[in-house]
Homo-oligomer: A and B are copies of this chain.
Amino acid sequence: MNFALGIDIGGTKISYALIDNNGFIKNDVQKVSTPKTAREIESMLKNIILKYENQIEFIAIATAGTVNNENDKVIGSTANLPIGYKDIDFLSLSEKKVFVENDANCAAWAEYKIGASINCKNSIMLTLGTGVGGGIIINGKLLKGKSGGAGEMHFLMSRNKSRRCTCGAWDCFEAYASGNGLRQTAVEICKDENITTYDIIERANNGDVDCQKSLEVWQNDIALGILGLANLFDPDCFVLSGSMEKFVDVEKIEKFVNSFVLTSPTKVYHAKAGNYSGMIGAVLLGNELI
């Protein structure tokens, strides 16, 4: 059996494991805190790789941020990683081949190969967390666009300039469909500036009508965004992942979308590839592309 070293670089921690070419993790996943400077991240990566280098075929890295079309460099949008991170020369970390891809793209690939969207050549994964990430697969290939950064879920939900988005524009899908979006919706409905997503879920479960309404509006906003994507891409399915997806009724969303879709009916699934879908997807994708 051949192994690759899968590494997932996030804003708070770096996880890694040996992964075989079917996406199975050998032994346990190791975790360390993400260092505060790019130089420290680089030397930590070197040390991790050094430990495994003679057991592996290649290194596959899932990372926050946009990765170029050559899969060797981070080119932007790394708000939660230190300045200088973009300048890391990933290829120089090892004599073995190093493959790099955006973490949401990797997770989408894992779902396509071993998860919820298995065998769906056209699928869209939405990661509903603090923000919203996305990975789009068209005809069995990752949509990267001209520079590598395609799949940003920043399209309009309102012309009212109601919510400034993290991207600088107004009223993007992310500003409504994310955990922060749910919170903002609840602030408006519950008239409580300090409400947290945790409060919303707990109070809704205890029968609070405003919190239930907030979740309903949030879910409807997710459905409206998915409807637009279904009309644009005509995908076999959507996969929802991330910390917030467990609060979503995928059947209800699917029903709403299919009652309006112009292309053809689609499916909406919960993600299945697990917490390590990023590093697993990186290995599975690297397997095909390098």
Instruction: Identify the A interface with B (CB < 8 A).
Output: 66, 77, 121-122, 136, 138-139, 141, 143-160, 167-169, 172, 176, 221, 224-225, 227-229, 231-236, 260, 262-264
Write the nearest CB–CB distance from A187 to chain B, whole angstroms: 16
A to B CB contacts below 8 Å, 12 in the list: A139-B141, A145-B233, A145-B264, A147-B234, A154-B231, A155-B156, A156-B224, A159-B224, A167-B231, A167-B262, A168-B260, A172-B228
In-complex Cβ contact of A234 among B144, B157, B229, B264 (8 A): B144
- A264-B233 in contact (CB<8A): no
Report the Cα distance A56→B267, complex, angstroms. Answer: 43
Report the Cα distance A65→B88, complex, angstroms. Answer: 49
Report the Cα distance A24→B153, complex, angstroms. Answer: 40
- A143-B138 in contact (CB<8A): yes
Which of A139, A154, A159 has most chain B Cβ within 10 Å?
Answer: A159
Given A155-B229, A231-B155, also A145-B160 (CB < 8 A)? no
| Total copies of the chain | 2
In-complex Cβ contact of A150 among B144, B147, B149, B263 (8 A): B263
Contacts of A234 in B (CB 8 A): 144-150, 152
Report the Cα distance A168→B144, complex, angstroms. Answer: 32
Write the nearest CB–CB distance from A256 to chain B, whole angstroms: 10
- B156-A156 in contact (CB<8A): yes
Given A155-B232, A156-B224, A160-B158, also A263-B167 (CB < 8 A)? no
Write the nearest CB–CB distance from A243 to chain B, whole angstroms: 22
Given A167-B260, A264-B147, also A158-B159 (CB < 8 A)? yes
If A149-B234, A154-B228, A157-B159 are given as contacts, then 19 extra A-B residue pairs at C-beta distance below 8 Å, sorted by A number, are A143-B233, A145-B233, A146-B264, A147-B234, A147-B264, A149-B264, A150-B263, A152-B231, A154-B231, A155-B155, A155-B156, A156-B156, A156-B224, A156-B225, A156-B228, A158-B159, A167-B262, A172-B228, A232-B232
Report the Cα distance A86→B151, complex, angstroms. Answer: 33
Contacts of A141 in B (CB 8 A): 139
- A145-B157 in contact (CB<8A): no
Contacts of A66 in B (CB 8 A): 263
